[in-house]
Each structure stands twice: as structure tokens, then as C-alpha cells.
Amino acid sequence: MRDNLAALMQTLTERNAEMSRELSSSGGISQKVTEDVGRLITSIQFQDRTSQRLQNIKATLGTLGDAGAALSDETKTAGQSVGIVAEADEEWLRQIVGDRTLGEMRRRFVMSMFGEETTDADQDDAKSSSADADDDNDIELF
């Protein structure tokens, strides 16, 4: 009986040591998971703040665009009433266009600024030519 009790105690001691190792390993894994979740939460919060700021900027630019269009219409109307024909300041527009880096976005912006119409054929041509124009399609990341 004494030998059986000693064997049982030995087995329990070994099991206890094995459980301690497993718990220690689990603690390390749990700590790593906690750190990863913390980084993910921080990343999501950053993306959410960035998204909110971009939405605010977009809304502001939309309002400014509407105000600019209204002012342009009023200026054209006032100029026409006294015989002045308004023309686009091409140098200024080309300077603005020069800062655009994405080819398709730049092409549409140019067409919009110079009052040109876009067609599906133009968009297809732009897609095929954008593969050839790597310099126009640079994406700048922070």
C-alpha cells in the first residue's frame, strides 16, 4: 500500500509540474494575445479618426465647391451683362493639375476644369493608357 501511495504521490507531483508548465505557457500566450488585441484596437481607432477627418474635409470641400460654382455663375452672369466673356486661367489650372498624381483622377480633374465632357470611350482609353503612364499613377503614402 505504501508503494502504491508513493507511486500515486509521484504521479501527482509529475502532473502538478506538467500543469504548472502548461499554465506558464498559457500565461505567455494570453499576454501576447492581449498585446495584439490592444494594437488592433489602437489601429482601428486611428483608422476611425482618419476616416472621420476625411469625411469632414470632403464635406468642407463640397461646400467650397458649391460656393465656387455659385460665385462663378454669378460672375459669368454679371460679366455677360456688361459684355465680358470669361475664360479659364489655363496657367493656374495647369499648375493645380500638375500636383495630381493618380492618372485617372488627374485626367477627370483636367476634363472637369477645362469643361470637357467624359465618355465611356475616354474612360476605357484612360484605363489602357494608365498602364503605360507609370509616372502619372504614383501613389504617395505617408
The DSSP symbol for 102 reads S
The DSSP symbol for 117 reads P
The DSSP symbol for 135 reads G
Which pLDDT tens digit goes with each residue over 65-79? 899 889 988 888 888
| Verdict on whether the full-model pTM lies above 0.85 | no
Residue the block writes with cell 474635409: 57
Q: Crossing angle for the helix pair 103-113 and 90-98, nearest 10 degrees?
A: 160
Which pLDDT tens digit goes with each residue over 89-133? 778 777 777 776 677 777 777 777 777 665 544 544 544 444 444
How far is Cα 60 from Cα 68, in angstroms, rounded to an integer? 12
The DSSP symbol for 142 reads -
